[in-house]
Structure 1
């Protein structure tokens, strides 16, 4: 795998929405029980209980998304943690789950990709359209995962599905851009962005058979493909507007 460091696609204005999304993800992570900041006086069992109940409450549970009903807290969690009752709207959990992460490495990897590839897509779409696009592909990724695994009761968390959509759109909108990346996380190398983004997609596809992994590769694929479709629609609209303008000259 290659880790991107820089993309050479120029932008006309500061990517404020991209910066906002990164800041929101970082703040939510630091305030969540997952980061365990301010919880040093608690036992390991208490900390784990807070994390589990937090993810059940705010994560997107596939079975809940399809049934639109909140599931009872699992019996083993109830017996061990005695969580307080909570009310959950499953369709909103697909939104909240986009701002949750399972650890430092998880959020760091996601934010690096969003920072490098989000700016150009935001510049092309405009700020409000980019925000709507980001949230839409995030929903598509979450519900796509739920449709693929309808019986799953494991909370889905992370911005990966939405960010995969950003990568897919970048692949279509900027096929000639170039990226500086670390090959094998050690050697810096300049390569076409399409090569880096294509290897991301291929890696997700090849990893589908890994039953031991907790990574939602299917959600990444749904997000990536949705992003590519959106990219093609944007390109088609741009070509149509240019043709219309030329016809009036």
Structure 2
């Protein structure tokens, strides 16, 4: 189950979201050739990824920033860019281009700090834009909890697109990150769950001033948690597979 689009159109072109996607993709393409050489990619990540043990001993601070533009593989990159594409445009619409850029970078840095606090002696390189994007998702949940999000459900041979409220999809995602945070040892590597959880919470907190400017609880009452504009509509595509009637 993963999201493919939302029904929440933005009022302006999300230039910063597109720029962030382009930078992430461009940076990945610049070093993807190293992925076939374990020593080369290991040295690259040692220099540019986030290593908590280096930060706690007084070094490696650049990794807090640079790590949010690195990814560990094609699927890692694709998943993050999909989430950024779906949820980033609406946050940029509300915050403005420069405000959104500052918000995104702040979420990325603070989510990295959350990971360092959770695993201060880990020597495992950490990469990915997930923490910053989790902040975008946290802000989206605060502003548009009932916006419709289309999710693709895949169960063996069953495929279906189902629209659900954003609070269900994002709430499930956050719950999975929190369970992972308390159920795994962050020192051993794997998914940086605390970076995701921390980024999400930071994103919600940093979005509170926007929410209050819009009216706070009154904004929710007026919109009923939905976007304050008509939903986006998508054309229905009929299946060309013929139906077989039962006798």
TM category, shorter? 0.7 to 0.9
Q: Structure 1 segments of 4 or more deviating over 3 A?
A: 210-213
Distance 1:140 1:23 in 2: 22
1:137 corresponds in structure 2 to 107
1:71-106 deviation digits (Å, cap 9, x = unpaired): xxxxxxxxxxxxxxxxxxx22211110000000110
Aligned partner (choices 122, 142, 161) of residue 188 of structure 1: 161
1:23 corresponds in structure 2 to 22
Q: SS at 1:163's partner residue? A: helix
1:135-155 deviation digits (Å, cap 9, x = unpaired): 001000101110111111111
Q: How many residues align?
A: 212
2:129 corresponds in structure 1 to 159
Cα offset, 1:67, TM superposition:
3.0
Cα offset, 1:230, TM superposition:
1.5
2:242 corresponds in structure 1 to none
Long gaps (5+) in structure 1: 70-89, 244-249
Report if aligned partners of 2:56, 2:121 keep a CA contact under 8 Å in 1: no
1:219 corresponds in structure 2 to 195
Cα offset, 1:68, TM superposition:
2.6
Greater mean deviation of Cα atoms: 160-169 or 186-195: 186-195
Aligned partner (choices 109, 125, 141) of residue 79 of structure 2: 109
Report if aligned partners of 1:65, 1:143 keep a CA contact under 8 Å in 2: no
Q: SS at 1:36's partner residue? A: helix
**Cα RMSD after superposing both structures:** 2.0
Distance 1:7 1:66 in 2: 40
1:55 corresponds in structure 2 to 45
Cα offset, 1:213, TM superposition:
6.2
Distance 1:68 1:130 in 2: 30
2:237 corresponds in structure 1 to none
1:172 corresponds in structure 2 to 142
Distance 1:121 1:14 in 2: 12
Cα offset, 1:112, TM superposition:
0.2
Give the TM-score of the pair, scaled to structure 2: 0.81
